[in-house]
Amino acid sequence: MKAIRDLKIIKIDEIAKGIFSLVLERHLDFGALKPGQFFNLALKSRELPLLKRPISLSTWDDTTMTFVIRKVGKGTELLCAAQPGEWVSAVGPLGNGFDLEAPAAEATLLGGGIGTAPLLALAEMLSAAGTKVNVYLGYQNEPYLVENFKKVADGLFIATMEPVDGLYHGNVVEYWMAQEADETERHVYSCGPDAMLHMVQLSLKSRSQKGHLLTEERMACGIGACLTCAKPIERDGEVHMLRTCIEGPVFKAEEVVFECK
């Protein structure tokens, strides 16, 4: 149930350089939540920017919702500089999340950068449903949320693009492809930049494996009116421009049309 509510900041911490964990109170009017959904957030005391910022849910409980934010512009800078006790204006939940009505027996989760955050709730719910979950997380250099994933993952694999002692050095998708060379029974869920998701898609196609992708796209309104976030999606042999904020951000892996060079 989509709603607009002012939420108090419970806690905010910098969990890696430029990466912040923001814990907000959870309002009952938001109803049931699904992994992969997002909220439009803005600090109540702000003067600018005018538009709220779309931030994916990372995890939640009965009383709180946690968002992991990368500080990249004025809107996220204001959110990351906020203090406990301040208020955030929130619109949501928005978008279609992951469908977990019939969870697979085994699943692999692949996250890249800030795309690791929305996979945490997915890992928690799959694990609680009895799914065997392997998680692959890719970072530039400084991992975060690792301890959270350890609690629910049957296997946890971490890759960094810059050398870090004890961790795989390289691309997280290549790490996954080497570790799970031919496990077609696993359902794959992934979130990250388009170049990464395109690699995942190609690998899935080559081994006839099924998956879902949580896509990223620039947004303005976040409620389907402006069409800024339209993404090419192929269905029944035709390409349609579908709104990431309404029909997405989660799509079947084989549907997404990437324009990566």
Which residue ranges are tagged as binding site for [2Fe-2S] cluster? 221, 226, 229, 245
| DSSP 8-state class, residue 120 | H
Which residues are annotated as part of the binding site for FAD? 53-56, 68-70, 75-76
Q: Which residue has the tokens 């930049």?
A: 193
d(CA 65, CA 58): 8
Residue ranges of the annotated binding site are 53-56, 68-70, 75-76, 221, 226, 229, 245
CA distance 54 to 142: 23
20: Cα within 13 Å, side-chain hemisphere: 21
Phi-psi label, residue 192: left if phi above 0, alpha if psi -120 to 50, beta otherwise: left
- Return d(Cα 55, Cα 72) in angstroms, integer: 12
CB contact set of 128 (below 8 Å; sequence gap of 6+): none
Round to whole Å and give the CA distance between 9 and 12: 7
| C-alpha dihedral sign at 211, 212, 213, 214 | negative
